[in-house]
A and B are shown apart, each in its own frame.
Chain A
Amino acid sequence: MQTLRLMLLTKEPPLADSKLSEATPAEATETVTEHTVEHGTTTGISNNKLLMWAFLGSECLLFGALISTYLLYKERFNDFAANLAPFEQDGRNIGPRFGGEDGEGVFDIPFTSISSFILLGSSLTMVLALSAIRRSEYRSFRIWTLTTAALGSVFIAGQIYEFTEFVEKGLGYSTNIFGSAFFTLTGFHGVHVSIGIVMLLATYIMHKQGRLNSDKAETVEIVGLYWHFVDVVWILIFTIVYLFPQ
């Protein structure tokens, strides 16, 4: 009720940002019906959730800078590699176009497609976990949380495998600018997925200790926001790095 009272006192829409304003009435209802938000905040969105949204906004620029760097360097690398004389090549031209076993690029698109779909699937299980804890179905919450973490781990394992494959083919981190840009971009994403896995396991442990139940489903929702964000970023990276014409 505190929230509603504050909202009535606030005559204008609490936020200029349309997305957040749209979320506000839904949040307020949630506050009253589910008691998920205890503190009456001015916007009706809990502090924790607003923190995560702000952080994700910042992350957009982080990945934006990385993706821009990659796009710039892929072009520059192609020019650079095409202009290398044969005696200069010495493995320095290995990249999206040269250096694979069949005379093509290093990418193994079918393999990465599979691991991408595994990561995308984990967004579905994340939603199922949130829905389960909201309905107090704790057994399925545990199953879906662990499944999400497991799918994320499979993705990371696939990434590690891919990296070692590339290194075996001769593309190391310092081989050329493509190697530096590729490993940095996908590596940063991999670290983000790994942090997400830690967060999922933490929610699982907190639940096991009895500190996380349906009245705090919002914590799971916030972890979910992060997880979905990381997935969306991967869709961008997969499209830009692997699927765009090399």
Chain B
Amino acid sequence: MAITEDRPLALEAGAVTKVAARPLGALTRPQSDVGWASWFTTVDHKKIGIMYGVGSLFFFLFGGVEALMIRIQLAAPDGQFLSESLYNQVFTMHGVTMVFLVIMPMAAAFANYLLPLQVGARDVAFPRLNAFSFWCWLAGAIFLNTSWFLGGAPAGGWFAYAPNTSVTFAPGSGMDFYAIGLQIVGIASLVSAINLIVTVLNMRAPGMSLLKMPVLTWMLLVTQFLLLFAVPVITIALFLLTFDRSFGANFFNVEQGGSPLLWQHLFWIFGHPEVYILILPAFGIISEVIPTFSRKPIFGYPFMVGSGIAIGFMGWGVWAHHMFVSGVGEISVAAFSLSTMFIAVPTGVKILNWLATMWGGRLRFNTPMLFACGVIAMFTIGGLSGVTHAVAPSDTQQTDTYYIVAHFHYVIFGGSLLGMFSGFYFWWPKVFGYKLSEKWGKINFWLMLIGFNMTFGPMHVLGLQGMARRHQSYAKEDGFGFWNGIVSAGAFVIAFGTLAFLINIWLSARSAKRNPVEVGPDPWDARSLEWSTASPTPVHNFDVEPTVEFQDDWWHRKWGENEEGKIVRKAYPADIAQDGSATDVHLPSPSYWPLVLSLSLPVIGYSVIYTFWLMIPAGALFLAGFLGWALEPADDPEAAHGHADHGHDDDHDADASADAADEGASVG
């Protein structure tokens, strides 16, 4: 069925396409899918996923350096390392960077690379929109960070409470960079969310019903729905802020009767679902890792999926627990206390299910599994301190202290980030064709885990002692010196852990180059569809569109039960996996236009901040990108046609896809 097409191939794995160029304006259709230039024009979900991963790791180092600067400043009483103003900028940008430029794009890396593979698709539903999402994110990230050189970074905290963000209290342009930068990053998230939702709902392989999808696919799907509904709320909040600062609106102008509390509501209606946007992908990742390394199916799959969906819904009803001290009224406080306690239930279900999956399993403690166990332990601590915040009187005591800082680092670092590292080690052989070193992986894990607990454990104590967040220094007689010293030492242990990860990548890549070891399609004896194709994943993903019978279908093809009910091997992965040798698979053609279009957005941003005249080049770039995109067919008509699963009505198909992109352009 796969090979019905005898016309020339479009994009053979690893080969330069030989397609006649069709001039389109100044730029011709990009030709190649290899070489460095191809990364700028690619629409391949795997390449885009890798770029998200590299980008997020880069900003992870950036945000990490900011964290170290904070810890140097606070290591001893009366620190002199950072001035008050610089300290405000550094802790603000640390938060913004880690949330929007590290965890979210890292999750997007896994989502981009794995979602199409796990549902058995060739690519995402709208490949050019996917490229646009990435470039848009990168443009926003760079735009935000240029503020360091243009009069100072934002300094109002990542939550940017009004009226501290008004022109009166934040006269520089830092908050403008915050508002517009996050707006651009938000566009990227929204477009990507729509794209991935359509991909999962619409492009599943035959037989893959919703309840046969891997848990990771489910958690990422819930995440995309959360993004779909949360991003527009922050969009409006950021617009109101920009209008206040740039066009003299009065939304947060108390003198005119404006309400600073409105900002808090809008921000946290976005901000609390955002917390689940950060954690659910990691939950999904370890839900793939733990069954694989326990050699058991996930325990209670429907409950796992159901609790993820429940978190997705309940996440919308707890936002005001961030605002217990802002005077929202007793009834609100009581209601949000209750809902916050309830949301611990589905999370607890997940933790019990992971433990039950490991119970009685034949455990292998490879690095991915170590990180996954780290997530369970650390997230449980963070979850428990979270429940203490549901108790409003206790929360009132803890608000704005280091106890809160400890809590959210235990869930975001101990939950999300360790989960992502588990994912890096787990899928590395699938993406790059070699495993990361176990030795360095273990050094990486233990350094991070110990450093993490040294850093954030004592913060509970500091918080309960009354040390306030966001203060640039503390006095000797406050008595916070001892624990702060340990916290700062711990931060450097985390830094060494991160260094171990980078060394691991470098050494493993080098040794893979010197003496390549065939890792095979399925090095971990894993369970989902991405392991049924070659490693590294061929450009067309699957030679033959997979068909699915079971949940964990790939595992069922390798293993079965004998008469005594014992699990016995039916087949070896190398024998039944696809080898990626198909050559006539038609793939979407690369394009310049997503990059061009996304470049116009930061220019519009500078124009709002500095001078209206910049709108002229910005508008020109936007129009060029938009028109180029709309006029360029999604598939090169000169290229070969023939989806593997289609017969000869392909011309029809290509036109339809072109329209798909047209439509995408008018929306995006």
A residues near B (Cβ < 8 Å) are: 2, 5-6, 9-12, 14-16, 38-43, 45, 47-48, 50-52, 54-55, 57-59, 61-62, 64-66, 69, 72-73, 76-77, 79-80, 92, 173-174, 176-177, 179-181, 184, 195, 198-199, 202, 206, 211, 216, 219, 222
| Least CB distance, B590 to chain A, in whole angstroms | 20
Stretch from B134-142, B204-212, B286-294, B331-339 at the A interface: B204-212
**A10-B204 Cα distance, complex, nearest whole Å:** 10
**Residue in B257, B262, B645 whose CB lies within 8 Å of A176:** B257
Chain B residues in 8 Å Cβ range of A40? 645
Chain B residues in 8 Å Cβ range of A80? 256-257
* 7 smallest beta-carbon distances between A and B, as pairs: A80-B257, A174-B248, A62-B232, A65-B236, A180-B249, A41-B202, A61-B232
Given A39-B656, A177-B257, check contact A69 B250 (CB 8 Å).
no
The answer to whether A48 touches B660, judged by C-beta atoms less than 8 angstroms apart, is yes
The answer to whether A54 touches B197, judged by C-beta atoms less than 8 angstroms apart, is yes
A-B contact pairs, 11 of them (CB 8 A): A50-B125, A50-B202, A51-B667, A58-B193, A58-B232, A61-B229, A65-B232, A72-B262, A173-B249, A174-B247, A177-B251
Chain A residues in 8 Å Cβ range of B86? none
Provide the B222-265 mask, 1 if CB < 8 A to any CB of A, else 0: 00000011111101110110011001111101001111001000
**Residue in A64, A174, A206 whose CB lies within 8 Å of B250:** A174
Task: Give the total number of A-B pairs whose CB atoms are below 8 A apart.
Answer: 158
B residues near A (Cβ < 8 Å) are: 125-126, 190, 193-195, 197-198, 201-204, 206-211, 228-233, 235-237, 239-240, 243-244, 247-251, 253, 256-259, 262, 266, 269, 547, 630, 645, 649, 652-653, 655-656, 659-660, 662-664, 666-667
The answer to whether A61 touches B233, judged by C-beta atoms less than 8 angstroms apart, is yes
| Least CB distance, B591 to chain A, in whole angstroms | 18
B contact face: mostly helix, strand, loop, or mixed: helix
Given A51-B663, A219-B663, check contact A58 B231 (CB 8 Å).
yes
Given A72-B259, A80-B257, A219-B663, check contact A43 B201 (CB 8 Å).
yes
**A206-B659 Cα distance, complex, nearest whole Å:** 10
The answer to whether B667 touches A50, judged by C-beta atoms less than 8 angstroms apart, is no
**A15-B203 Cα distance, complex, nearest whole Å:** 13
| Least CB distance, A13 to chain B, in whole angstroms | 9
Chain A residues in 8 Å Cβ range of B202? 41-43, 45, 47, 50
Chain A residues in 8 Å Cβ range of B194? 51, 54-55, 58
| Least CB distance, B190 to chain A, in whole angstroms | 6
**A42-B436 Cα distance, complex, nearest whole Å:** 37
**A62-B228 Cα distance, complex, nearest whole Å:** 10
**Residue in A11, A92, A179, A206 whose CB lies within 8 Å of B209:** A11
**A202-B250 Cα distance, complex, nearest whole Å:** 37
**Residue in A41, A45, A173, A176 whose CB lies within 8 Å of B256:** A176
| Least CB distance, A6 to chain B, in whole angstroms | 6
Known contacts A61-B232, A174-B248, A216-B655; can you find 12 more A-B pairs with CB under 8 A? A38-B649, A39-B653, A41-B202, A45-B202, A51-B194, A54-B193, A55-B194, A58-B193, A65-B232, A92-B256, A173-B249, A177-B256
**A224-B202 Cα distance, complex, nearest whole Å:** 22
| Least CB distance, B240 to chain A, in whole angstroms | 7
The answer to whether B229 touches A73, judged by C-beta atoms less than 8 angstroms apart, is no
**A10-B210 Cα distance, complex, nearest whole Å:** 9
| Least CB distance, A102 to chain B, in whole angstroms | 25
Among A45, A73, A216, the one with the most B-chain Cβ atoms within 10 Å of its Cβ is A73
**A199-B269 Cα distance, complex, nearest whole Å:** 32
**A176-B258 Cα distance, complex, nearest whole Å:** 9
**A240-B194 Cα distance, complex, nearest whole Å:** 30
The answer to whether A52 touches B228, judged by C-beta atoms less than 8 angstroms apart, is no
Among A51, A174, A179, A195, the one with the most B-chain Cβ atoms within 10 Å of its Cβ is A51
The answer to whether A38 touches B233, judged by C-beta atoms less than 8 angstroms apart, is no
Chain A residues in 8 Å Cβ range of B232? 58-59, 61-62, 65
**A64-B197 Cα distance, complex, nearest whole Å:** 22
- Which residue on chain B has the smallest CB distance to residue A38? B656
**A43-B210 Cα distance, complex, nearest whole Å:** 11
**A43-B204 Cα distance, complex, nearest whole Å:** 9
| Least CB distance, B277 to chain A, in whole angstroms | 14
The answer to whether A62 touches B656, judged by C-beta atoms less than 8 angstroms apart, is no
The answer to whether B209 touches A10, judged by C-beta atoms less than 8 angstroms apart, is yes
The answer to whether B659 touches A176, judged by C-beta atoms less than 8 angstroms apart, is no
The answer to whether B204 touches A42, judged by C-beta atoms less than 8 angstroms apart, is yes
| Least CB distance, A167 to chain B, in whole angstroms | 14
| Least CB distance, A56 to chain B, in whole angstroms | 10
| Least CB distance, B162 to chain A, in whole angstroms | 13
Chain A residues in 8 Å Cβ range of B258? 73, 76, 177, 180
Chain A residues in 8 Å Cβ range of B655? 211, 216
The answer to whether A184 touches B249, judged by C-beta atoms less than 8 angstroms apart, is yes
**A42-B259 Cα distance, complex, nearest whole Å:** 47
Chain B residues in 8 Å Cβ range of A222? 663
The answer to whether B211 touches A12, judged by C-beta atoms less than 8 angstroms apart, is yes
Chain B residues in 8 Å Cβ range of A199? 666
**A65-B201 Cα distance, complex, nearest whole Å:** 27
**A177-B240 Cα distance, complex, nearest whole Å:** 12
Among B206, B652, B653, the one with the most A-chain Cβ atoms within 10 Å of its Cβ is B206
Chain A residues in 8 Å Cβ range of B229? 57-58, 61
- Which residue on chain A has the smallest CB distance to residue B309? A16
The answer to whether A58 touches B262, judged by C-beta atoms less than 8 angstroms apart, is no
Chain B residues in 8 Å Cβ range of A219? 659, 662-663
The answer to whether B256 touches A69, judged by C-beta atoms less than 8 angstroms apart, is no
| Least CB distance, B311 to chain A, in whole angstroms | 16
Chain A residues in 8 Å Cβ range of B645? 2, 40
The answer to whether A69 touches B656, judged by C-beta atoms less than 8 angstroms apart, is no
| Least CB distance, B255 to chain A, in whole angstroms | 10
The answer to whether A41 touches B653, judged by C-beta atoms less than 8 angstroms apart, is no
The answer to whether B206 touches A6, judged by C-beta atoms less than 8 angstroms apart, is yes
The answer to whether A66 touches B236, judged by C-beta atoms less than 8 angstroms apart, is yes
Chain A residues in 8 Å Cβ range of B256? 80, 92, 176-177
**A73-B630 Cα distance, complex, nearest whole Å:** 40
| Least CB distance, B145 to chain A, in whole angstroms | 27
| Least CB distance, B521 to chain A, in whole angstroms | 25
The answer to whether B198 touches A47, judged by C-beta atoms less than 8 angstroms apart, is yes
Chain A residues in 8 Å Cβ range of B195? 51
Given A12-B209, A47-B660, A77-B257, check contact A38 B240 (CB 8 Å).
no
Given A12-B209, A38-B649, A38-B653, check contact A58 B251 (CB 8 Å).
no
Among B193, B266, B660, the one with the most A-chain Cβ atoms within 10 Å of its Cβ is B660
Chain A residues in 8 Å Cβ range of B250? 174, 176-177, 179-180
Given A51-B667, A177-B257, check contact A15 B248 (CB 8 Å).
no
The answer to whether B198 touches A69, judged by C-beta atoms less than 8 angstroms apart, is no
